[in-house]
Amino acid sequence: MFSLANPKRFMDASGKVLPWLAVATAVLLTVGLTLALSVPPDYQQGDAVRIMFVHVPAAWVAMMAYGLMALAAAVGLIWRAPLADVAMKTAAPLGAVFTALGLVTGSLWGRPMWGAFWVWDGRLTSFLLLLFLYLGIMALGNAIEDETRAVRASGILAIVGAVNLPIIHFSVRWWTTLHQGESLLRKGGPSIAPVFLWPLAVMALAYTLLFFSLWIVRMRTTILERKAAVLRITGRA
């Protein structure tokens, strides 16, 4: 009656991977933070440059999370895959947290660099809008009582909202802006001093793994909760 296609394979596989993922995340985070604190101060920015190692990866993961969420939403809508629904639903709050982190660290960095916590430029504004999108998706999902309808509705929004991703990325090119231009993901290779590049790469990987670990954990708990709910209803009936 409550036909939840049993994502048993996912539970088995993720159960095996999760411990390794958690360990790798912890190791990379430690290494990355140590490196970040040990690089020499920047000749222009001084110690403020260290914010980069927490800011840039947070912003990247926030965007990646959105992309994955939209993908999951599409899979859920097209193939009616329950696992994709769970993935979509659980990615939103995580992505929102990383977005908030990127906003906070960015604006802490902005104070010494630009003299203001906030400016209304294309990158900052479009990234703020990403947070709004995440919040809208979560709010829409919560506002509809019926589970499947909730996931479908917020999934449609997630897919539509994906247009914001390229806008965030290219905003620095499309507007005259205060924000740092593309310095890593650009044609012609990165334009950052190698001393900063390595710690940044490690931190980026660490954040990514952190996101995946948290995502898997949340997916597993959601699946278990649903099983419990189904048992409750059918058990009583």
Partner 1 sequence: MTLALDIDKLTCVRAHRVLFEALSLVLTAGAFVSLQGPNGAGKTSLLRIIAGFLTPAAGIVRIRTETGAILTDGEDRARAVGWLGHQDAVKLQLTVGEQLSFWSKLYGDGAAALAPFGLAPLAEVPGQFLSAGQKRRLALARLTLTKRKLWLLDEPLAALDAAGKVLVAQSVRAHCAAGGIAIAATHEPLGVDGLTLHLGGP
Partner 2 sequence: MNALRSLIARDLVLALRAGGGAALALAFFAAVATLVPLGIGPDLKLLARIAAGVLWVAAVLAALLSLDRLFQADFEDGSLDLMALSPLSLEAVALAKIAAHWLSTGLPLTLIAAVLAVAYGLPANGTGALVASLLIGTPAVSAIGGIGAALTLSIRRGGLILPFIVLPLIAPVVIFGSGAVLAVLDGLASGAFLFLAAFSLLAVVLSPFAAAAGVRLNLGS
Binding site for partner 2 (CB under 8 A): 77, 116, 118-122, 125-126, 128-130, 132-133, 135-136, 139-140, 143-144, 146, 149, 152-153, 156-157, 159-161, 163-164, 167, 174-175, 177-178
Question: In the numeric block, which tokens belong to residue 201?
Answer: 């790469």
CB atoms within 10 A of CB 191: 11
Amino acid identity at 107: S
Q: Which of 34, 183, 221, 234 contacts ligand HEM by CB under 6 A?
A: 183
177 binds ligand HEM (CB under 6 A): no
Residue labelled with tokens 């997916």: 219
46, β-bridge pairs: 42
Q: Say which entry of ligand HEM, partner 2, partner 1, none residue 168 contacts (CB below 5 to 8 A, set by partner kind).
A: ligand HEM
State whether the Cα torsion 210-140-68-81 is positive or negative. positive
Q: Kindly report the length of the chain.
A: 237
Q: Say which entry of partner 1, ligand HEM, partner 2, none residue 2 contacts (CB below 5 to 8 A, set by partner kind).
A: partner 1
Closer Cβ to partner 2, 103 or 202, answer by number: 103
Residues 37-96 close enough to bind ligand HEM by CB under 6 A = 52, 55-56, 59-60
Closest-CA residue to 220 (of 20, 5, 2, 7): 7
Q: Provide the binding-site residues for partner 1, judged by CB under 8 A.
A: 1-2, 145, 233, 237
CB 102 within 8 A of CB 130: no
The alpha helices in the chain, defined as continuous H runs, are 8-38, 52-79, 82-114, 122-143, 147-161, 164-174, 194-236
Closest-CA residue to 87 (of 33, 10, 23): 10
Q: Which of 53, 66, 127, 196 contacts ligand HEM by CB under 6 A?
A: 127
Q: Which of 54, 83, 94, 103 contacts ligand HEM by CB under 6 A?
A: 103
Amino acid identity at 179: H
Closer Cβ to ligand HEM, 12 or 47, answer by number: 47
184 binds ligand HEM (CB under 6 A): yes
42, β-bridge pairs: 46
Contacting positions for ligand HEM (CB under 6 A): 52, 55-56, 59-60, 102-103, 106-107, 109-110, 113, 123-124, 127, 168-169, 179-180, 182-185
